[in-house]
Amino acid sequence: MKKFRPQPGFVVQAYRFALDPNATQERALRSHCGAARAAYNWAVGWVTASWWQRRAEESYGIAEDELTPWRPWSLPSLRKAFNEAKHADPRFASWWEENSKEAYSTGLANASAAFDNYAKSKNARRKGRKMGTPRFKSKRKARLSCRFTTGTIRVDGDGQHVTLPRLGTLRTHEPTAKLLTRVQAGTARILSATVRHERGRWFASFQVEVKQDITRVTRPDAAVGIDLGVKTLAVLADSTGEIRAVANPKHHDQVLKKLRRTSRTVSRRQGPDRRTGRKPSKRWEKANAARNRVHYRVTNLRANALHKLTTAVAAEYGTVVVEDLNVAGMLRNRRLARRIADAGFGEIRRQLDYKTRQRHATRTIVASRWYPSSKTCSGCGAEKAKLPLHVRTYECDACGLVIDRDDNAALNLAALAAACTTGTGVAGDQDTAPAVSNPRGADQKTRATRRSRKATAGRAGGATLPHPRQTETRDRTQAEALTLW
């Protein structure tokens, strides 16, 4: 699906509302989401069938030019093949007309994106962990979701209903006045809508093109450095030397006792068994819903606290400096994983990025992951080679400064803003931090692996040897990409 690009002066924003459907409307919602899952599974089976057929033919000794041709997975190709098969396929022939065409298009678009991600991952053209081949979605585990891009998509004038294709008018649990006011004023245009079921409640999320309103910050010439932590969620130090700490609410720890009790109740009920095909009992479903409500409340409390923090910071300072934390690596520490996940370090950085850029036209500087903010003295600039995590007070051997470890790191991050005179400083320019010698304070050589040689050459300014697969053209056909399968 083609990515939408907003017009100059406009941004794409989501408005999400909880729904209150009646019994008939809820059956229609589940039917549409089930149709999207069925179309996805059909696309995965249709594409991979040619893969297995080719593999079987190769084992028979059939020549390459006589093998079964690859089946394309582009969205237009999948739509064409699905439209030809839905009339004859017994899985769709009797009920496909009951749902909107957007439901099937949602599943086909998701399948096309899944195959694209798999091919890019195999060709080393996708960041992150390796992606495997797309798998079928289970009816019991699949998330109920469906997207509408065409047809009647609007917010009704009474502020209490929304209208979606084929589903009709649905009552909302909360007023839609915030979006309705913008639509009526001509400063917003609805692009698409997505219905989704989460923890016992249906939601409608509208993708809206909204006119950008820039608000001037309170202190445009001030910069703030934010040091994130577990004991204290954030330590804020501005360019004037003022330091203030934001306590960690620890929402998950507050309900941990209740979660344990509800989990024990769920474990004592007769739950589903995939191996034997046993369905869950009514008491298990009721207990599981009670446990999910606790999780859902914690999620909402955490999101509310993070939004309040990031909104206040973005509205006050002209420059915000945050660290590029390796959150995935930090979560491997089993002693701190639960509290790190509860803090939401990645979400804080994401919210600061778009709020400073879209709402206030200020900048966010992302310090390098190897910048020694905690090891460097904020007074004289001396750097320590080692600083264990259990040492919470920084004592400088050069100037004798004694300061809290987190306060020292926040001051160093705030001072980093003055040195970053090039680049826009937004999330796209993550290398705007000044180059420092020996940034990690390493006292031994790095292992001579392919990844470390590449990183060392990049830091030293030398030529980086490309990966052999990266020297090939990036405009590969699907058949060439699938030779790696």
Give strand ranges (E) for 188-329: 188-198, 201-211, 219-228, 232-238, 243-247, 317-323
Q: How far is CA 485 from CA 77, 249, 482, in A?
A: 21, 47, 5
Q: Is residue 227 annotated as part of the catalytic site, yes or no?
A: yes
Whole-number Å distance between alpha carbons of 131 and 114: 9
SS3 percent helix, strand, coil of the chain, rounded to 5, is: 40, 20, 40
Cα distances from 26 to residues 20, 22, 23, 145, in angstroms, run 9, 6, 5, 13
Q: Write down the catalytic residue from 102, 227, 353, 407.
A: 227
Contacts of 170 (CB under 8 A, 6+ apart): 19, 20, 21, 25, 161, 162, 163, 164, 204
Q: Is 323 a catalytic residue?
A: yes
CA distance 251 to 301: 7
Contact (CB, 8 A) for 150 and 156: no
- Per the residue annotation, which of 238, 316, 406, 407 is the catalytic one? 406
What is the number of H-type helices and E-type strands within the chain? 13, 14
Bridge partner list, 170 = 162
The strand pair at 232-238 and 402-404 is best described as unpaired
| Catalytic one of 323, 342, 353, 407 | 323
Would you say the C-alpha torsion 436, 440, 446, 450 has a positive or negative sign? negative
For residue 147, what are the β-bridge partners? 194
Q: How many CB atoms lie within 10 A of CB 94?
A: 9
Note if 397 is an active site residue: no
Count other C-beta atoms under 10 Å from residue 10's C-beta. Answer: 16
CA distances for 25 relative to 103, 163, 185, 200, angstroms: 15, 12, 30, 15
**Inter-residue contact 394 to 404 (CB < 8 Å):** yes
Phi/psi region, residue 360 (left: phi>0; alpha: psi -120 to 50; beta: rest), is: alpha
- Using alpha carbons, list the distances in angstroms from residue 431 to 103, 117, 219, 227, 456: 42, 26, 25, 18, 16
CA 29 to chain CA mean position, Å: 25
CA distance linking residue 116 with residue 119, whole number of Å: 5
Catalytic (active-site) positions: 227, 323, 406
